[in-house]
Amino acid sequence: MNIIVKIMQYFKYKNIKFKSVGENCNFKSLRSTFLKSHNITIGNNVWIGPKADFDGAGGIIIGDGVIFAPEVAIYSRTHNFDSDDLKAILFDNVMLTAPVIIKDYVWIGRRVIILPGVTIGKGAIIGAGSVVSKDIPDYAIAVGNPAKVVKYRNQDKFDELYNESAPFVYQKLGHKKEFKSK
């Protein structure tokens, strides 16, 4: 990596303090934003693509081995726009917060938006461009706006790989890609 980029990353991230960050994580894109980072927990072997936009106001917990494609947005707060004590139109100065939890070995596609209060289960895959507004179960493959489960992964095969000593794709196979026709 270019020394100038490394210096720029150092100055950008020197004051960004996460609640915790595991080992072997890649998230320091110059074009990413981590608001309220002190409420964000990042597990081991997490890869966050460039242009991430994470708002940790309500808390974000990211498990081990999670991969985020570029331009993923996570929101853990929203405006108060529809309550009995609403003080203004369209919304007031009250922020409603709810944690986002992403469990182990989840793959989040490009330009996914994850809304406050969502839990994404272990081994789930979220298709590119999806808007996740409700919980996604373990091993589910969900796509669309709003994201809906379209099928489930082979849990036996997942568990077999999960129990290996180094199941994470980049540990096991590196970054070299192999192309195969469907």
| DSSP-assigned beta bridge partners for residue 73 | 53, 113
Nearest to 130 by CA among 117, 116, 119, 115: 115
In angstroms, rounded to a whole number, what is the distance separating the alpha carbons of residues 44 and 35? 21
**Active-site choice (6, 31, 79, 172):** 79
| Cβ neighbours of residue 118 closer than 8 Å, sequence gap 6 or more | 100, 101, 132, 133, 134, 135, 136
> Residue 79 catalytic?
yes
Alpha helices in 1-105 (DSSP H): 3-13
Interacting residues of 8 by C-beta distance below 8 A, sequence separation 6+: 30
Q: How far apart are CA 125 and CA 67, in angstroms?
A: 10
Which candidate, 142, 102, 141, places its Cα nearest to that of 122? 102
Provide the annotated active-site residues. 79
